[in-house]
Chain A
Amino acid sequence: MSAHPMNAFPTNASVLIDQVTKIYGARAALTEVNLHLDPGQCVALVGHNGAGKSTLIKLMLGLIRPTHGQVRLLGEDPAGAHAARLRRAVGYLPENLAFHPSLTGQETLDFYARLKNVARAGNTDLLARVGLEAEAARRRVGTYSKGMRQRLGLAQALLGQPKVLFLDEPTTGLDPALRQVFYEIVQELRAAGVTVLLSSHALTELEGQTDRIIVMNRGVKIADGTLADLRHLADLPVRIQATGAPAGAVADALGTLGQVSTNGHAVECRCAGGDKVAVLRRLTNLPLADIAVMEPSLDELYAHFLRREQAA
């Protein structure tokens, strides 16, 4: 069993996905996926629609079973005999969130608290924490805006202090203020040792919010690591914009280290990530007015990994 991939994972992982394949009819939604999520980690699951993000989350929740391979949630089978007990320690915000429209916000949260056997005394505070005021909580969910429903959705996911939190496209269609609230809460949870899995296709907003990024494409995991890891792996050119010096002077200073082009009144240099410091050192010898270093964004990294996948 020593060659078994599971042994490569830390034993205290909150979630393990081991050689999992999921087939619907004739279509493979996931193909031999391996991954693990650790306590206190905020992981972003990134990919197009149909890349397999929601399928992965449903497998981790035990809503569906893998065709091959195995899934472990807090060390146990999430679709097994202890599923009910396991789910007490889990929070879930589905992608297409729907509530019963005839119940009020407060009643909805009370209903879910009862199901999770959580004291309802804390519900008012929980609603306040996600920014639903008392007046809104007394209204029927049918009258809620998308943002308010999403706030209520986050509140129910936080019931009973979960150890693992699955947030499927949590910020899609939310205003920037609410996104801020969202990520603040996620950071607090992460600090408290909660495992947070965020799926998203809005990549730019994930920068700086997550410890790790897993990139999915058509049911296959194509990248997994920290943002720095992924940058290193992709080895995309760093762009440096300099103003105040003519393009010719910059090109002379860099020599073979980078390519130079003009971008408006600025000079743009592209160089390999490893040459970044050397290039900066040479540039600073020139009489520059300003300098800006642009690392490849998450969007660019994602596009790169997709391109690499298609070329393969």
Chain B
Amino acid sequence: MSIPLILAGKEIRDGLRNRWVVAATLLMATLALSLTFLGSVPTGTVGVGALDVVVVSLSSLTIFLVPLIALLLSFDAIVGEVDRGTMSLLLSYPVSRGQVVLGKFLGHLASLAFATLVGYGAAGAALVATGADTGPEGWRAFAGLIGSSILLGAVFIALGYLISALVRDRGAAGGIAIGLWLVFVLVFDMALLGVLVADQGKTVTVGLLNWLMLANPADAFRLFNLTGTAQVSQFAGMAGIAGQIHLGPVTLLAVLAGWTALPLGAAALIFSRRQI
């Protein structure tokens, strides 16, 4: 077995043993199920495309929850192991530091993917069990939601490693991780909104807005899911924006992939130069 896979296997086993995976899965399933049933209240039983409503609710859930879980999984990955002393022993083995980062990434991503798949899958299954109207397009949007949620998780796991490789102190890493979450999930959109209102469309053109949205992976995720299909964008109140935004789903996914690859590469580079 290759070194990254051995390391990933150990991370997964660690996650299962210390109940991280179970806790994250239960949390996601609970919140997803409550949103699914609360979300269907306003549309009632006549609602067309119950799944589309669920995609809108779960997208918001993902934006808040997945980056948080991902950062909590990852901020400690490097600085914590250096601190505890397990890292110097690991690095005395025939493994490169790039392999260590990659192995941890694969393990953490697999844990998060499992939690997302099972948690959101439970919501989908519950919807089917209640006999709600679900069209093939709704399922496509739902699958896109799960896939892009995992990708958003990958982005924030990579960002967490970058923090973990940069700082010397576990407490500082935790603080920065929470700060990063606040910025990307709350502050960025509020600031953007403030700028748009103040500017009154004078300097911030649609083209510039496109680029600004890409500067935040959470917004790239939001655009991907809420403007993905005509049905969904209508429910999300994003139909207006969907007409103006010129970023296709492929571009948005590529942006998320880039937001994963760059911090991950930077984390590996910084870690490989670090004195243990």
Contacts and interface: CB of A to CB of B under 8 A. Distances in A.
Interface of A: 24, 58, 61, 63-64, 83-85, 87-88, 90, 92, 94, 96-100, 102-103, 107, 111-112, 114-117, 156, 166
Contacts of B84: 98
30 contacts: A63-B88, A63-B91, A63-B275, A63-B276, A83-B96, A87-B93, A90-B92, A92-B89, A94-B88, A94-B89, A94-B92, A96-B85, A98-B86, A98-B89, A99-B86, A100-B10, A100-B14, A100-B86, A102-B14, A103-B10, A103-B13, A111-B6, A114-B1, A115-B6, A115-B90, A115-B95, A116-B94, A117-B94, A156-B89, A166-B92
Contacts of B1: 114
A149 B26 CA distance: 34
Size bin of chain B's contact surface? 20 to 34
B202 interface: no
B276 A58 contact: yes
Nearest to B10: A111
Contacts of A96: 85
Most chain-B Cβ atoms within 10 A of its Cβ — which of A24, A85, A88, A111? A111
Main secondary structure of the interface of B (DSSP, over half): helix
Contacts of B7: 115
B18 interface: yes
Interface of B: 1, 3, 6-7, 10, 13-14, 17-18, 84-86, 88-96, 275-276
Nearest to A86: B94
Nearest to B274: A64
A140 B91 CA distance: 22
B15 to A, nearest CB: 9
Give the 10 A-B residue pairs with the shortest CB-CB distance, closest first.
A102-B17, A92-B92, A98-B85, A84-B94, A96-B85, A87-B94, A115-B93, A98-B84, A98-B86, A114-B6
B192 to A, nearest CB: 41
Contacts of B275: 24, 63-64
Contacts of A84: 94-96
B86 A112 contact: no
B85 A94 contact: yes
Contacts of A64: 275-276
Most chain-A Cβ atoms within 10 A of its Cβ — which of B1, B3, B17, B84? B17
Contacts of B86: 98-100
A59 to B, nearest CB: 11
B221 to A, nearest CB: 32
Contacts of A102: 13-14, 17-18
